Structure 1
């Protein structure tokens, strides 16, 4: 048997094993924490110490209660997407109660929502009017919240998580706070992939989705030396 044939056989065996494991898992195993996922969003996160490093982030969130969400973040919305980050989202009420030292890890969501950059992911067959109405309701619950996001997979110079494994320490990422920060090409690629227009969403949200001024202590990276975990 040639080397290429052997490699194809090995790859086929791995795919078959994965398929069998997935089928058995769905029939036999318990995934209760994942069954609580009730929201899915897509945004773009910049690294707090290097705004030119950005990543498209697909969030799948569950609610612990009305003040707390927790999100698994992937680099794509397909079945082979990599888990690249986690985000914790809290209400403004809980943010106010945080110690001042803790607040530097958290970012606001006001601009991200108002600008049209944070969007709900919906199935292609859902009518646009229904999807928009649902999206607006969900984003009204998000616009005045605060998030702490740890990126676990490194991002390359093309803003992709291209490495085979997640090298290095976690990195703190944020949300955009004003115009001119997002990489326009990355935003276009995201919009093209999802079949949406951030510009149109922004226009449609004017006067409909309006957040409060972010609380003091949030978006620390804009005002002071940004915190980041450094490699030794």
Structure 2
């Protein structure tokens, strides 16, 4: 994974008066129906399977297609100026089992993310903690046995930031965590500070209450020495270990 320079300050968050007017008018005149289906706001960490120390905080905004399928937009923050850095498709264990073995290599499990407290609901600041905790438990129960195929389109630097001005390079396959020793504590601490939560407390809250099934064979292949990734090689690129 290449390292990238920081975005120039003069380009950050600035729009012309004309662009601002057009943007405001669009909200009144144009249809945004697909976005209206977004009903889940989640926050977790992602890593790159071929470079697992490269990790970042990922804010997911998900639309439930049906009981077996979600589609999520991934942003690098929950602010109005957040970058859209990728997408993730989330499917049930039942649906994952129907995939052929070649396809399974692109998917990761969510069992450890949920049980460890790493994956959380991104609640509004005004929501009381006890209410947020109560609402979060059934969401996590619904996710613990799911599988994700996440595709990053904006590269991440050594500090876990999507710092380059434009999304350069080929899309990248992302992975999830399967054990504590894979986690960069500095990135996790930053996430907890941003949301005002404790991953350690989340884990304690879920112990004995949320327990996922054993991970289905074929997922998380990066942990078995098969870090599948997309590379910029030749006219059409390639996918290889």
TM-score class normalised by the smaller sequence: over 0.9
Q: Give the equivalent residue in structure 2 for 1:33.
A: 34
1:16, CA displacement in angstroms?
2.0
1:173, CA displacement in angstroms?
0.7
2:66 aligned with 1:65: yes
1:15, CA displacement in angstroms?
3.7
RMSD of aligned residue pairs (Cα, Å): 1.7
2:159 aligned with 1:158: yes
Distance 1:40 1:185 in 2: 23
Larger Rg: 1
Q: Give the equivalent residue in structure 1 for 2:5.
A: none
Q: Give the equivalent residue in structure 1 for 2:105.
A: 104
Alignment of 1:181-192 (within 5 A): 181-192=182-193
1:14 aligns to what SS in structure 2? coil
Q: Residues 169, 13 of structure 1: CA spacing in aligned structure 2 closer, same or farther, 3 A cutoff?
A: closer
Q: Give the equivalent residue in structure 2 for 1:23.
A: 24
Calculate the TM-score normalised by the size of structure 2: 0.90
The number of residues matched between the two structures is 224
Could you give the per-residue CA deviations for residues 151-173 of structure 1, whole angstroms, max 9, x where no partner exists? 10001111110000000000111
2:88 aligns to what SS in structure 1? strand
Calculate the TM-score normalised by the size of structure 1: 0.93
Question: For the Cα contact (< 8 Å) 2:13–2:81, is it kept in 1?
Answer: no
1:231, CA displacement in angstroms?
2.0
Q: Give the equivalent residue in structure 2 for 1:84.
A: 85
Q: Residues 13, 210 of structure 1: CA spacing in aligned structure 2 closer, same or farther, 3 A cutoff?
A: closer
2:129 aligned with 1:128: yes
Q: Give the equivalent residue in structure 2 for 1:197.
A: 198
Could you give the per-residue CA deviations for residues 118-175 of structure 1, whole angstroms, max 9, x where no partner exists? 0100111111111111111111111100000001000111111000000000011111
Could you give the per-residue CA deviations for residues 66-121 of structure 1, whole angstroms, max 9, x where no partner exists? 10000000000000000001000000010000011000000000000000000100
1:141 aligns to what SS in structure 2? helix
1:13, CA displacement in angstroms?
8.8
Distance 1:45 1:225 in 2: 17
Q: Gapped runs of 5+ residues in structure 1?
A: 1-7
1:193 aligns to what SS in structure 2? helix
Distance 1:21 1:141 in 2: 40
